[in-house]
Structure 1
């Protein structure tokens, strides 16, 4: 559906709601303001568009901000077993860039808590100073249709979690001449339980 016009019937019965054009930003409330701002600026290779002593807008691309950090008096520490947002995810276009960012973060003391080939993606997970989970990922398939087909395969039905990987091993294989496509192929290990995300 295009832009509204004078002839748009805003009261017409809708089969579905008009979808957004994109996900604009995420706002994180914290009692750990300085550490969170420092972490996300480093983690994303970002810059602060605007900041003061309680609010910071961080960007890494053409958007004016992708992450905002706000310090709110009375904010309590995160309860790791409560309901809520499990993680946010940032995508890379190549395995090379995913692994390069991993190594660059490692140089800055930012280590992952879990690395896994889910099948549709290869993903490296981190936790910020408030223990919020962040995924960095690369798509393992060239198209959404191929990824969807894998997600409907017997392998994914048996194991929708994935197979753990070692980023250092992936880097070594890349440096030894293996292709991104070869690294992206999931090794099938059969059924597995959901890992203990709280303990990570």
Structure 2
């Protein structure tokens, strides 16, 4: 048995290549699965009486749902995951998704420009929160070291319909990401 360690690997920082999937326990599985299929334009990979797998890309499954109809409903004030965030390549992609979901009656409960991101928060049928976001600017992490972040580390709410109208009228991602910026301390769109 070879117990030697490859020196090139011993000092290397090894991290996961990507996040693979999330698994939800569901009292209302059918409704929740249908909601996520609409949210992500996903497709069903597998389903039986206990488990459902769906995906929206080339991963074999991005989300799994356990059918547990007898579990109690989620309580807001418990320890655990606050929300899961998904990034879009541009604010245009985020706003296009907003417009696609709106007639499906999937609407955000909170729209906020955090500074580093423009974000739309949704709540699934089980009470889990999902953030859809797009990065603002070329170096969103730099915002954490700014005076604007020191003065307002949460962000500023905005009206997604107005932001969508601006996007349709030809506003750039830079112009859209400046709307309601936390740097101003007040929303320019409400």
1:128-167 map, 5 Å: 128-142=124-138, 146-167=139-160
Length-normalised TM-score, structure 1: 0.84
Q: How many residues align?
A: 183
Partner of residue 91 from structure 1, selected from 87, 93, 97: 87
Distance 1:179 1:8, change over 3 A: farther
Structure 1: segments with no counterpart, 5+ residues: 1-5, 192-200
How far, CA to CA, are the matches of 2:184 and 2:42 in structure 1?
37
Equivalent position of 2:167 in the other structure: 174
The answer to whether the Cα contact below 8 Å between 1:113 and 1:126 also exists between their aligned partners in 2 is yes
Structure 2: segments with no counterpart, 5+ residues: none
How far, CA to CA, are the matches of 2:144 and 2:64 in structure 1?
33
1:46 maps to 2:42: yes
* 3-state SS of 1:104 partner: helix
Partner of residue 183 from structure 2, selected from 179, 188, 197: 188
Equivalent position of 1:75 in the other structure: 71
How far, CA to CA, are the matches of 2:54 and 2:117 in structure 1?
26
* 3-state SS of 1:37 partner: helix
1:107 maps to 2:107: no
Query: C-alpha root-mean-square deviation of aligned residues, in Å?
Result: 2.5
Equivalent position of 1:195 in the other structure: none
Describe the superposition over 1:8-33 as per-residue Cα deviations: whole angstroms up to 9, x where unpaired: 628xxx77962111111100011111
